[in-house]
C-alpha cells in the first residue's frame, strides 16, 4: 500500500506529518486569502477552477479542521477522486 503525504501544508504553510493511503484522504477546495476580497466584491466566489480556488488531497482529520476553521472559504469535495489531486 502506497503512503501519500497530506497536502494540507498548502494552506497552513507547514508540511503535515501525516502520510498514509489515499483511501483515508479527501479533496478539499479552499480560496486563498488574497483572492477573497475580489470574489466578495464581485458578488460571489465563482466556480473552480476559474475562480482561483485550489484543490488538494488531504487526510480526513486535516480536512475537518480546515473546514471548521474557515467554513465560508473551505469545503470538502465529497465526489472528487483523490487520485486526481495527487502529485504526478
DSSP for 37-50?
HHHHHTTS---TTT
Ranges of each domain in the chain:
4-85
11-68 pLDDT, tens digit each: 888 999 999 999 999 999 999 999 888 878 877 756 788 788 899 999 999 999 999 9
Which DSSP category does 84 fall into?
G
What is the C-alpha to C-alpha distance for residues 81 and 27, in angstroms, rounded to an integer?
A: 7
* pLDDT of res. 45: 54
pTM of the full predicted structure? 0.88
Neighbours of 8 (CB within 10 A): 22
Q: Greater confidence, 39 or 82?
A: 82
| 1 pLDDT more than 70 | no
Amino acid at each position: 500500500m502506497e503512503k501519500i503525504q497530506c497536502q494540507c501544508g498548502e494552506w497552513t504553510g507547514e508540511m503535515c506529518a501525516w502520510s498514509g493511503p489515499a483511501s483515508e484522504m479527501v479533496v478539499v477546495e479552499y480560496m486563498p486569502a488574497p483572492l477573497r476580497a475580489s470574489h466578495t466584491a464581485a458578488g460571489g466566489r465563482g466556480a473552480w477552477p476559474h475562480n482561483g480556488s485550489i484543490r488538494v488531497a488531504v487526510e480526513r482529520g486535516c480536512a475537518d479542521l480546515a473546514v471548521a476553521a474557515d467554513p465560508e472559504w473551505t469545503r470538502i469535495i465529497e465526489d472528487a477522486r483523490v487520485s486526481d489531486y495527487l502529485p504526478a
